[in-house]
A and B are shown apart, each in its own frame.
Chain A
Amino acid sequence: MANKVLGDYKKLEAEGRYQVGADVPKVTFREIGKRGIHRLDGYEKASGQAIYTRDIQLPGMLYARVLMSPYPHARIQKMETGEAEALPGVRAIIRYDDVEVKDRMLNGCYFGPEWVAPRLAGWALKPVHPVLGDQAWYEGQPLGAVVAADSEDIAHRALRLLKVEWEELPFVLDQEEALKPDAPILRPEADNNLIERPGETIEKGDVERGFREADKIIEFRAKRNAHLWAGAELPSVVVRWRGDNLELSVHEQQPYHAKMLLSEWLKVPMNKITMHSPYQGCAFGGRGNPANNSENGMNILAALLARRTGRPVKLLYDRREYFYGESGDMMVGDFKVGAKNDGTITAVQMKNVFAVYMGTPGIDHFVENTKISNLLCKTSTADVSKGPAWWCRCEQLPNTFCFTLVFDHVAAELGLDPTEVALKNDGFEDYDTTELSKYKREHGFPDRDSLRECIGAGKKAIGWAEKWHPPGTKKLPNGKMHGMAFTWNHEWDDTRGTGSGAVMIENDGTVSIIGQQSDIGVNPWTTYCQIVADELGVRYEDVNIKPFTLDHGYALMSPDGSANLCTNGEVLRKASQKAKKMLLELAADKFDGVTAEELDMKDSVIYVKAAPEEQRTIVEIVARAMPMSASVALWTKPPVVASAWHNQGLWGRALETGRPHLCRQAHFMEVEVDTGTGEIEVTKVVNVNDVGKAVSPETVEGQMYGGTYMGVGRALTEEMVWDENTGVLLNRNLLDYKYATMLDCGPIETVIKETGMGHGPYGAVGVAEDIATVVPALLGPAVYNAIGEWIDEYPITADKVLKALGKSQERD
C-alpha cells in the first residue's frame, strides 16, 4: 500500500500536478484577505429569494413518495397495491417486482463503468443495496413501492393503503453484540457480521517496546454513540423528460457524480442529461454520497416515474424518513497508552469496533501529527441493523476522537498541563519538530512553530494561566464545578480535490466565472470572485459566478473535504492567468508599439507598465471579442475565455512520502457542571485556527462559530436512540434529536492565524471541517477537569455525569 502511494505521489509530483513547495503569491492582495466584502449570496438568502431544490415546482408536476420499512430487518412476502391504485389522484406505482427495478442494484461507482463501490464508495452501505428491493436491513429503509400522485398528501395516503405482508427477521443493534458468535447474521450470504474492509491493522514501530520504555501505562475505554448530520433541506429531486433527454434539479453536493451514476443506471448518455443544482440547504458531506437510496436512488425512481407518467415528477422525503446517514464514528475503543513522566508518549495502542462505519480508523492523526514512534490500531466493523453511515463533517471524527482522548488522558494521568504534552509530541510520521522545520526551510515555507503560536494565542484568549487547575478542585460562587480543557490537531489540508472552471471576459468588461458548484453555505463564490479579481486586476464588483447548472461542462470541486478553496482557488487562478494573457495580447493592438508583456491591469483598467497614464478600459479591448455576432464577421475577434483544471493532489496524509501537515489548530473549552442535576454548560470556547491564509476572514470565522455549535451539540445532546426491543429509531425528529440552539453555548472566541504554511493557493488550508470534528471530544476532558471523573461515552448527558459522581441508581 505504502509503495503504491509513494509511486503515485512521485508521479504526480513529477508531472507537476501537485505542489510540494510553498506558494509564493505573485499578485498584490487587494480583495484577497479583505474584510467587509459584500457576500455574493447574502441578499438572495436573507431576502428569501434564494431557490432551493425543495422549492421547485413545474407545470403538471406529480409528487412521489417511497415506502419505508417499519421493521429493522424484514422481507416483503406479498404486497397488494389495488386499493392504493384506486385512490383518485394516484398516477403511477412502481413495485419492487416491476420490470424496471426488479433485481436492479444501486450503482456505487464514481468512475464510469469501473465498479469501485465496495471498497471506495459502498462498503459502509449495506452490502446488497437494491434501488427498490423487498428486504429491509434497517427500520426506515426505502423499499417496496414508490407512488406518484397529484399531491404529496395523496401520495402519502396511497402508501398507507398498500397491503404489505412482512416477514420479520432477527436484528442486532450493537456492534459488539453483532460480532458475537450467537448474534443473528444479517446478510444471508455471510457467516458472520464482520464487514470486510482494507487496512484493518495499522502498525508502526513496536508498541510492546514503547510500553516497556514508558513510565506509566494508561488504559481506558471510550464510546461514541450514533449521531447524524440532519441538514436543513430535506431530500428532493425534480425530474422531467424532454424526448430522450433528461432534465433534473437535484439536492446534491456532487452533481457531476450524480449525473455519472444516473447515466450509468438508466443507460441515458451523459450528454443527454441536464442537471441543475439550485441552492442547497446544508450538506456537510451528507449530500455527498450519490451511491445511496436517498440520492442516486431517488433520482432513478423519479426518472422512472416521470417516464411512466409522461409528466414531471418531484420525489420527496420528509424529516422522519430522512433520519439516517449516521456520522461514521459509531465506535467503541479500548486504549492502552505508554508515556514518560515528562509527557513524551512512547506507544499508543487502540482496538476500535465500529458499526456500519465509513470513515477513519482512529490512529491516523497520531501518524500525521506526532513524533510517536510506536502505534498499533486494530479495527473491526460490524454490520448492524442501522441505516448506512456516511462521512459528514467529517470522516476524521474517529481520528480526532481518539487523538483528543489519548492526549488528555495522558496529561491528566501524569498531572501535566495538556498544552505541554501536545508540544512535547508534535511532529509527523515519528519525526519531531526539528524535522518539520527542516522540511519547511527546504520547501520555501516560513519556519514558524504553528502549534506553539496557536497554543500561546489560545491560552491568552481563555486566560489559561489564571484559570487552569487540578481536576475537581474549583467550585464557583454559583455552586457549580468549573472545568477547562485543551486539544489540538493539524490543519484540514485534505489534498484530494479536483475541479475545472473557466473565466470569461464579457463584452461589457465584466468577468464571468463559468463552472457548476453546489452551494452549501461556505461562501465559496465570494472567495472565487476575490481571487479572480486580484489575479486579473479587476474590481471585485465586476466578477460574478452563476454556478447552478452543469450544462457548460465545467464542474468546480464540490464543497467536500475542506478542499473547496484549495482546489478551486488554483483552478480559477490558472484560468485567470490564461484569460489575462489573452486579454493583454488583444490589448497590445490598442497601444502603440507595446507588447502584451509590457501591459498590466489594475482596477479593471489596462495600462502600460512603464507609462501608467497610458490606459484603456477592458470594454475598449473586448468590444469585438464575440462568442457570436451577426455583424460583419471581419470585425469580430474570438472571445476572451480560458479554462483550467486542477488536481490538488492525493488525499490526506504524508505517509513518509508526500507532504506533511504544517499548520496546527488549538481548541480550548470551559464548562460549568452542576453536580446536583448533572447538567453541563459550555461557557466558553476558544478556537485558534492556523488557516495559512484567510481569503475571506468573516467566512473563516463563520466556520469557527458554526463548527463550535455543531461540536457542542454532538458532545452534549446529539444521539440517535433505538428501541432495543423493536429496533425502531425513537427520535426521528428535531424535537427529540437535539442539536444546539443559540442558548446552548457561551461566547466563542475566534483567533485566525495566517502562517502561510498551507499547500493551497496563497498558503491556505481548509478550515470548515476542523472545528465541528475536533470540538466534541473536548467535552470529556473539560468535564473531567470539573468533577475529577472521566466520562468517556459520548454524548455526555446529565445522567452519565450523575452516574460518574455515584449519584445515580442506574445499574450498569
Chain B
Amino acid sequence: MKDDKSRCSCPYCSNTFDTVKELRSHMMAEHKGQPLPAPEGLIKITVNGESYELQVKPNWTLYYLLHDKMGLTGAKMFCDRGACGSCTVIMDGSPILSCMTLAMECDGKTIETIEGIATANHPLIDAYVKHHCMQCGYCTPGFIMTAKALLDRNPNPTEIDVKENLAGNLCRCGTYPQHLKAVLEAAENLRGG
C-alpha cells in the first residue's frame, strides 16, 4: 500500500493520495497554471562562467559529472578516494575534491576547472610549462587548481604557504620542487611584477 501511495505523491507539494484520480483532482485544484516542478536531481551549476541545468543521479560524484558526462577530462581520477588531489576543482572559491563531492550537492554552485583557467590564460599555466612542473602530467591540473585557489585567497604567498597548500596533492613523478618555483613566479606575475 505504501508503494501505491508513493506513486501518487504530488510533484509540486509532496502530498500523497490513495489514487491517481485523487491526485489529479488535487493538482487541478491547487497547482493549475504553475510551471512544471523540477524533477529530483535537476541541478543548476555554473562551470567556467557558463550556466548549465543538468539532470544528475544521486550517486554521481562531481568528478563523474565533469569528467564522464561533461567531457571536462582535466580533472583526473588517480587515488580514487580523496587521497591525492588530482580531481581538484574550485567550488565557490574553495579547492575541493570532486571525487568526494556528490553532484547533487552542487546545485547553485559556481565551479572552475582547469579548462576554464587555461582558456583564461591564467599565469600559472605558463609558469608550470616553463618550470617543467610535470612529468607524466596526470596530477598537474589538480596541482594548478589548488595553486589557483591559493593565489585567489593569498596573492603574496610565502614558500611555506605554497608548500602547505600543495602538500595534499600527490605527484608520483616527484615534481614538487618545480611547483614551488612556478607558483611563486605566477604570483609575482599576477601582482604585476
Contacts and interface: CB of A to CB of B under 8 A. Distances in A.
Contacts of A57: 68
Contacts of B109: none
A41 B132 CA distance: 10
Contacts of B72: 48
Contacts of A284: 172
B80 A318 contact: yes
B143 to A, nearest CB: 9
A702 B175 contact: yes
B135 A48 contact: no
B176 to A, nearest CB: 4
Contact of B167 (A230, A282, A520, A741): A741
B81 to A, nearest CB: 6
A34 to B, nearest CB: 14
Contacts of A522: 135
Contacts of A709: 171, 174, 176
B73 interface: yes
A47 B115 contact: yes
Interface residues of B, number: 54
Residue among B76, B114, B125 with max Cβ neighbours from chain A (10 Å): B76
A49 B74 CA distance: 6
Contacts of B133: 46
Residue among A38, A50, A283, A699 with max Cβ neighbours from chain B (10 Å): A50
Interface string B166-179: 11111111111111
Given A48-B141, A739-B170, A521 B135 contact: yes
Interface size class of A (residues with CB under 8 A): 35 or more
Residue among A38, A46, A519, A743 with max Cβ neighbours from chain B (10 Å): A46
B62 interface: no
A440 interface: no
Contacts of A282: 135-136, 138, 172-173
Contacts of A39: 129, 132
Given A42-B132, A740-B174, A734 B79 contact: yes
B65 interface: no
Nearest to A519: B136
Interface in A295-328: 318-320
B87 to A, nearest CB: 11
Nearest to B134: A45
Interface stretch (A134-142, A231-239, A476-484, A757-765): A231-239
A733 B79 contact: yes
A521 B141 contact: no
Q: Report whether over half of chain A's contact residues are helix, strand or loop; otherwise say mixed.
A: loop
Nearest to A707: B174
Given A739-B170, A743-B163, A281 B136 contact: yes
A280 B136 contact: yes
Contacts of A702: 132, 135, 173, 175, 178
B128 A46 contact: yes
B139 interface: yes
Contact of A742 (B75, B118, B163): B163
B174 A710 contact: yes
A349 interface: no
B15 to A, nearest CB: 31
B84 interface: yes
A55 interface: yes
Nearest to A748: B177
B77 interface: yes
Given A706-B173, A710-B174, A232 B138 contact: yes
A42 B128 contact: yes
Contacts of B139: 232, 281
B42 interface: no
B125 A51 contact: no
Nearest to B179: A742
B98 interface: no
A45 B172 CA distance: 15
Interface in B58-97: 59, 67-68, 72-84, 86
Interface of A: 38-39, 41-52, 54-55, 57, 153, 229-234, 279-284, 318-320, 519-523, 698-699, 701-702, 705-710, 733-735, 739-743, 745, 747-748, 772
8 contacts: A153-B59, A230-B172, A232-B172, A281-B137, A281-B138, A699-B132, A734-B81, A742-B176
Q: Which 3 A-B pairs have the closest CB atoms?
A: A48-B74, A45-B137, A521-B135
